[in-house]
Amino acid sequence: MRSAHGNKQKHESKNPLQRALIERFHGQLARVIGELGPAEILDVGCGEGYVLAALRDKGIRCAMTGIDRSATAIEAARARVPAASFTVTDALALADSGQRYDLVLMTEVLEHIPEPERMLAVLESLAKRYVVTSVPWEPFFRGLNFLRGKHVLALGNDPEHVNHWGRASFLGFMEQRFAVRDAPWVFPWTLVAAQRR
């Protein structure tokens, strides 16, 4: 899964280009979710709450829940988004409990998970209606890392990333279980809003 250091570094970067790209990503994510109009959002692998905080800052006001396996991340998320509810758990345990949410969100997590197809089934079981996901858009994400001197020996590949999708291949991956409703251009990520069939 994502490291806390990497997540903080990404969201609190002083690099103006990186800040602009993340701001654009958050803006498109808020637009997509606003158009779906969910009654509630579950953020799977919420980390320190940066994404839910960005959504609230951009006017998304529905009930929000975040889950993560890291107690340290959840503690930070609670401080960052006091209006949301956060729990230390994982998606499989939550799915087994029978809990369901109008919209399930998973940003920048699937690339870290071995056998991601199994996670799609878990997301489907957690969602009443919608699933919104994002992953790095490869090979561009790796290329940008390499150009800025990050993970140079691995040719820009983050050592925590075990899956790599191009835009078309990720859309195909999501379409295995969901009907894709929107996939805005948010380079260097692929963002997909989908609905249960």
- Tokens 């994502």 sit at which residue? 2
Q: What is the pTM of this model?
A: 0.89
* Structure-model confidence comparison of residues 150 and 98, the more confident one: 98
Model confidence pLDDT, tens digit, residues 2-21: 545 457 667 777 778 888 98
* Structure-model confidence comparison of residues 48 and 147, the more confident one: 48
Residue 86, CB-side half-sphere exposure with 13 Å CA sphere:
25
Nearest in space to 184 (alpha carbons), one of 175, 193, 194, 176:
193
Residue range 4-196 forms a domain whose CATH class is: alpha beta
Beta bridge partners of 189: 136, 186
Give the lowest-confidence range in 90-99, 115-124, 131-140, 167-176. 131-140
Q: Which residues contact 170 (CB under 8 A, 6 or more apart)?
A: 135, 137, 190, 192
Q: Tell me the domain boundaries of the chain.
A: 4-196
Please give the angle made by the CA atoms of 64, 69 and 72, to the nearest 5 degrees.
85
- Do 131 and 194 contact (CB within 8 A), yes or no? yes
